[in-house]
């Protein structure tokens, strides 16, 4: 039992680190027009809920490096917490990718409107579409090879 808990901790730490690395090295990973390659990883908790802590930790650390800092951290963590809670009731990973993307569009759009004065609908459309592209790519990828790269951690 202790070995399984250690494995879960290690896999979550690796997930968080990879998410941070992919976000921080991405030159267009923040603000209204963004294309975060790391968002492909955001769907992993839809396949296995044990990866929620690693995903939320990675998201919090990565958003800390954004120009908006702590407000971006709070927004990102809030979106993830709401989305992963909703995913408890919706078992279809494709529907969860959509709801995650729409939540990102809504909440990041509202945050950018409030903090940076970026028009809401512009932010909502650009962020929702870019997140939808990445989460669909991630969902497709992990649907095909997820059993080989994601441990079941039973």
14-50 tens-digit pLDDT? 999 999 999 989 877 666 778 889 999 999 999 999 9
Calpha distance 87→90 (Å, rounded)? 5
Q: Which residue has the higher pLDDT, 12 or 35?
A: 12
Q: Which residue has the higher pLDDT, 35 or 2?
A: 35
- pLDDT for the residue numbered 154: 46
Calpha distance 43→109 (Å, rounded)? 21
- pLDDT for the residue numbered 153: 47
Query: Mean pLDDT, to the nearest integer, of 85-95?
Result: 97
Calpha distance 62→30 (Å, rounded)? 10
Let me know: does 140 contact 94? Beta carbons within 8 Å: no
Residues 119-149 pLDDT 10s: 999 999 999 999 999 999 999 999 998 777 7
- Distance from the first to the final alpha carbon of the chain: 10
Residues 67-89 pLDDT 10s: 899 999 999 999 999 999 999 99
DSSP, collapsed to helix, strand or coil, labels residue 34 as coil
Which H/E stretch holds residue 143? Answer: helix 120-149
For residue 55, pLDDT beyond 90? yes
For residue 105, pLDDT beyond 80? yes
Calpha distance 52→57 (Å, rounded)? 8
- pLDDT for the residue numbered 28: 73
Residue 152 exposed, middle or buried by CB count within 10 Å (0-12, 13-18, 19+): exposed
Closest CA to 45 of 34, 57, 35: 57
CB atoms under 10 Å from CB of 10, counted, come to 11
- pLDDT for the residue numbered 29: 65
CB atoms under 10 Å from CB of 73, counted, come to 18
């Amino acid at each position: 039992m202790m070995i399984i808990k250690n494995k879960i901790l290690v896999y979550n730490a690796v997930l968080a680190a990879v998410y941070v690395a992919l976000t921080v090295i991405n030159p267009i990973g923040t603000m209204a027009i963004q294309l975060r390659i790391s968002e492909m990883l955001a769907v992993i908790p839809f396949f296995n809920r044990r990866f929620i802590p690693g995903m939320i930790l990675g998201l919090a650390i990565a958003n800390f490096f954004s120009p908006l800092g702590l407000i971006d951290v709070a927004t990102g963590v809030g979106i993830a917490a709401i989305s992963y809670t909703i995913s408890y009731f919706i078992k279809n990973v494709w529907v969860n990718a959509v709801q995650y993307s729409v939540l990102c569009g809504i909440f990041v759009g509202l945050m950018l409107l409030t903090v940076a004065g970026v028009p809401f609908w512009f932010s909502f459309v650009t962020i929702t579409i870019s997140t939808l592209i990445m989460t669909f790519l991630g969902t497709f990828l992990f649907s095909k090879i997820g059993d080989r790269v994601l441990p079941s951690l039973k």
